[in-house]
Structure 1
Amino acid sequence: MSVNKEIKKVTTNTLQKMKANGEKISMLTAYDFSFAKLFDEAGLEVILVGDSASNVMAGHETTLPITLDQMIYHAQSVIRGTHRALVIVDLPFGSYQGNSEVALASAIRIMKETGAHGLKIEGGEEIEDSVKKIVSAGIPVMGHLGLTPQSIYQFGTYNVRAKEEAEANKLKKDALILQNAGCFGVVLEKIPASLAKEVTESLTIPTIGIGAGGYCDGQVLVMHDMLGINSEFKPRFLRQYLNLAENIKGAVQQYIADVKSNDFPNEKESY
């Protein structure tokens, strides 16, 4: 079913109202025009152009190798397919850490060159200055706490974060710092559901969970995981809605067989 063209665009203000009204926010990643168009027409509120493109689109082991130029390319493609959803773009590793001037320059490039509606940045207190600087330039920023994949070599594991009291306390403090710095929302990744509930209730801005239980104001998944394109990745938090890997392989094998048996193209498919 196509979404009516007259439906109003989703904005950061829309998400704020959804939290206030107790209406859950749906968010998925997308990296190209075709999928963005389908997701937008399906009625998704938020599309994240994730640095997970490094994994699912480019085949890297981590999110670290993807560049700002590559993120801009993916974001441009997604924006061309989107009319209603709010499009948020990840600032990639190395484009903001440790220097708020560099962070602002990266943010401005993404906004000017892609037409996206906002950015997402990983980290808490250590990126406070960058968030403030970007927000002061009129650019919406979403935070990201818990398991922050750009810090994977520091963590050394993709296990659940903030199970210990000290890390949980830091996460709670970081969430408030991000809100006070001007973030319009925050992603909570792979943390205990009880902690996510506490953080969600302590903030006036919406929380989006991934592996953080059902108390968050919304949920996000990587499209390749949720659609079963990436069949190797099966964490507990993932609900797979399709098995496209099998369907696509089956279709391609049928195509190969039809070509080889001279069944395709047939008379009706010829001019």
Structure 2
Amino acid sequence: MIRSSYRKLRSFYHKLKFYYSVNWTKTLYFNFKKFPFEIAKKLPVFFYNKVTFTSIRGEIIIEGKIKKGMIGFGQPYEINTRHKGIAEINITGKMVFKGHAQFGKDYFVFIGENGYCEFGNMAAMASNAKLICIEKIVLGNYVQLGADSQIIDTNFHDMIDTNTGEKRKKTGPVFIGNYNFSGSRISIMKNTKTPDFCTIATNSFCNKDYISWGNNILIGGIPAKLIRENISRDWEGEKDELDKFLTI
């Protein structure tokens, strides 16, 4: 009986601690500001700890079955437990979620006025993530990107060919395949395309189309090169536990 009571108390403590970490002011404001009442009352988007809404006038779309907390900004699912309190949201374009999605702590999300960003089901970016979308960024299902990773689809500034005077396009779409997995501190830049079941090594710089290299590959380096074929994270072995771990 004592052991059973202890388990119940521990479970209650963990739930209380979890819900205490939710920024209820920002969570309620965002949901009822961006969604029809029937969706908003289910609170599909949770914000955790401090976050600045620089702008949320863009369009937010959730496809599929709506569930409470299915999208988490600042979600506490990593080893590190402390927030710096620098999370920022600036969405003036369109952001589409195809299911559950998670951002770790201290993220920066910018979707420009003409930008389109899509997150597949169970896509996640860990702590200190930076996502800047001016044109188009699409993450497939079960994309798991490590801490300090960034996805940026623009050079920000115009570049020219000094011989011809030709101006180079400063934006380019990014497409990340299904079941992609990365280490920390990776940079995914404009015109990057990765195949399904692609693993990206820590400290890598991606800036081109890697799809022709086939599925189940490991790429890495600055810029990224093919390191190994016929290798993948054990998605089938981890999938059930991953689903439980990342959903509330």
Range of TM-score over shorter length: under 0.3
TM-score normalized by structure 2? 0.24
TM-score normalized by structure 1? 0.23
More relative contact order, 1 or 2 (CA 8 Å, 6+ apart): 1
More strand by share: 2
